[in-house]
Each structure stands twice: as structure tokens, then as C-alpha cells.
Amino acid sequence: MTAQGSEPRQPERPLTIVVTGGNTGIGAAIVAAFARAGGNVAMDFVSNRDANAAIVADAADAGGRVVPVDADITAQAGLERIRDAALEAFGRIDVWVNNAGLETRHSLLETSEADFDRVIAVDLKATFFGTQVAARQFLAQGGPGVVVNVSSVHEDWPMPGNTTYCVAKGGVRMLTRTAGVELGGHGIRVVNVAPGAVDTPINTATMADPDQRARLTDAIPLHAVATPEQIADVVVFAASPQAAYMTATTIVVDGGIMQGSVGL
Ligand code: BGC
């Protein structure tokens, strides 16, 4: 991270960042990016726990620290558990990234109640209460803070066949706007980063099918899906002092897919 565009910024103390879903996909890239900036990171893990040791070691090599926490983010108590682990390890929290997300790719007509509950719990409920836990902690610290939500272009853009995901991300869009307005007076910023198509496990099926992959790539004006690192860089920016005047809004990082058209 740089101040005024050129000089390396040397923070007086390392920042502490919580990243949900930090051991896979975009989350792992976010953890690595903050670690490279010298940050202290606490991340939950539910699955993919075999990845933790390498993430911790890579972060240490890059000059950061990562504490993995066994916590269920779909329960408020699980989010408080990550908060407590971060406080125990690092003493305070500066940035909270609600990144964890999943999709089940079902249309309205196909969606089961269990599917709906799962997607809403991970994508919307965990983001809502993660924002609440973070904001309460920032207030308790008497200082500012930043919440970055990893939403999706589908916070605003219908994706037929992925209905609950769109509903959840639409909720995250409105959560960010409302919470940003409510918390602005406390110096707390809330910003969404909305990726388009990214090469992560959520898109494994699409990326593995050459036809689907070609169709997706053709629909993107920049003719490539994003790397997780390209999204992580924007998350780090949204959390940084360079984005100090941004709140209650969304930064779209989609290679132009939402504006694109296959044309005539
Ligand atoms: C979804 C992907 C989709 C992409 C672009 C993402 O939020 O998770 O399934 O390919 O948006 O439409």
C-alpha cells in the first residue's frame, strides 16, 4: 500500500483484519494480500482446513500473521468467536471483510427450503451479523473501522437459475447502503466489492467445461475471468485510507460484464 501514490506507507502498527471464508478462493487471496501489507489476519474455516498451514506459513514469509479460527459464521456466536480470537491474538480489529459466500444454482421453481436457508445463512445472515459484530467492536475501541463486503455483480443483476444467491446479494447491497448511512457518523465505513466471474471453486464447473468457459469469456468485455488476486487488490484498496471517502456504496470489479452485450 502506498501513500500519495509513491512512498511506501509504514503504518505505526500492523492493522488487524478479519476475513470470513479466508482459506479458499477470493478469501485466500484477500488474506495473502493483507499479509503482504504486513497485516494481522484472523480467518474462520469450516471446510478446506488442510489449506490452513500453508496459508499461515505463506503469510509469515510475506511479513504478516494469520490465525485460523474454527467458527461457524452462520451463527452470531461463531462471528463473536472470530472477534474474540482476533482480539486475543492482536488486541484490536481495524477491518472486517465479510467474504464467505456460496451458491447452489437453482431457479426459483427448483429451490428447496434447505437450499434457500443455506445460501441466505452464509451469504446474507453472516454478512449482516459480521457487520454488526465488527461495528460494535469498532465502537467499543472508540475508533474508526472499515467493513468490506464481498458481494457480486448479482447484487444488482439478475442471474436466472441462481435465484437465492441473487436475493442474498441484493440484500448485501442494501445492507451496505443502510449500515453505511447508520454508521457514518461513527467514522465507520461500509463498502461492497462486487466481483464478476472469478476463477475460484464457486465457478469450477463453468471453468472445466470448454463451451461454458468460452461463452462466459466472450460475454466479458475484457475477455477474461478475474483472478482472485485482482479482486483482493480492490478489497485492500477499499479498506485503505486511499478509500477514506467511500462508504455505503459498491465498487464493481467485473471486467465490464454487466455493461457488455453480445450485440448483433
Ligand atoms: C457468481 C458466478 C457467476 C459470476 C458472473 C458470480 O457472483 O458466483 O457463478 O459466474 O458472478 O455472472
Q: Is the beta carbon of 150 within 6 A of some atom in ligand 1?
A: no
**Prediction pTM value:** 0.94
- What spacing in Å lies between the alpha carbon of 231 and ligand 1's midpoint? 13
- What spacing in Å lies between the alpha carbon of 196 and ligand 1's midpoint? 6
Q: For residue 183, what is its C-alpha cell?
A: 454508521
Percent of the residues in the chain that have a pLDDT greater than 70, as a whole number:
94
Ligand 1, atom 5, residue with closest C-alpha: 197
pLDDT tens for residues 14-36?
A: 999 999 999 999 999 999 999 99
* 47 — pLDDT class (breaks 50, 70, 90): confident
* 1 — pLDDT class (breaks 50, 70, 90): very low
Task: Judge whether residue 2 has pLDDT over 70.
Answer: no
The angle subtended at Cα 244 by Cα 239 and Cα 229, nearest 5°, is 30
Q: For residue 245, what is its C-alpha cell?
A: 471517502
* 262 — pLDDT class (breaks 50, 70, 90): low
pLDDT for res 81 = 98
- What spacing in Å lies between the alpha carbon of 117 and ligand 1's midpoint? 19
Q: Is the beta carbon of 146 within 6 A of some atom in ligand 1?
A: no
The angle subtended at Cα 233 by Cα 105 and Cα 237, nearest 5°, is 115
Task: Judge whether residue 12 has pLDDT over 80.
Answer: no
Specify whether 165 is catalytic. yes
**Mutation choice for ligand 1 from 149, 159, 212, 216, CB with most ligand atoms inside 8 A:** 159
pLDDT tens for residues 104-146?
A: 999 999 999 999 999 999 999 999 999 999 999 999 999 899 9
Report the b/e string of 172-193 with b at 16+ CB within 10 A: bbebbbebbeebeeeebbbbbb
| Average predicted confidence (pLDDT) for the chain | 94
Task: Judge whether residue 7 has pLDDT over 60.
Answer: no
* 261 — pLDDT class (breaks 50, 70, 90): low
Ligand 1, atom 8, residue with closest C-alpha: 202
Q: How many CA atoms lie within 13 A of 151 on its CB side?
A: 31
Q: Is the beta carbon of 66 within 6 A of some atom in ligand 1?
A: no
CB 144 within 8 A of CB 192: no
Q: Is the beta carbon of 199 within 6 A of some atom in ligand 1?
A: no
Q: Is the beta carbon of 147 within 6 A of some atom in ligand 1?
A: no
Q: Is the beta carbon of 197 within 6 A of some atom in ligand 1?
A: yes
pLDDT for res 46 = 78
pLDDT for res 3 = 37
Q: How many CA atoms lie within 13 A of 257 on its CB side?
A: 26
Q: Could you tell me how many residues make up the chain? A: 264
Please choose, from the candidates 76, 119, 80, 85, the residue with its C-alpha nearest in 3D space to the C-alpha of residue 100: 119
For the chain, the helix, strand and coil percentages under 3-state DSSP, each to the nearest 5 = 50, 15, 35
Mean pLDDT of 162-176: 98
Q: Is the beta carbon of 231 within 6 A of some atom in ligand 1?
A: no
Question: Which of 122, 165, 168, 191 is an active site residue?
Answer: 165
Question: Ligand 1 atom closest to Cα of 216?
Answer: 10
Please choose, from the candidates 19, 5, 62, 67, the residue with its C-alpha nearest in 3D space to the C-alpha of residue 37: 62
pLDDT tens for residues 58-103?
A: 999 999 999 999 999 999 999 999 999 999 999 999 999 999 999 9
pLDDT tens for residues 178-214?
A: 999 999 999 999 999 999 999 998 889 999 999 999 9
- What spacing in Å lies between the alpha carbon of 240 and ligand 1's midpoint? 26
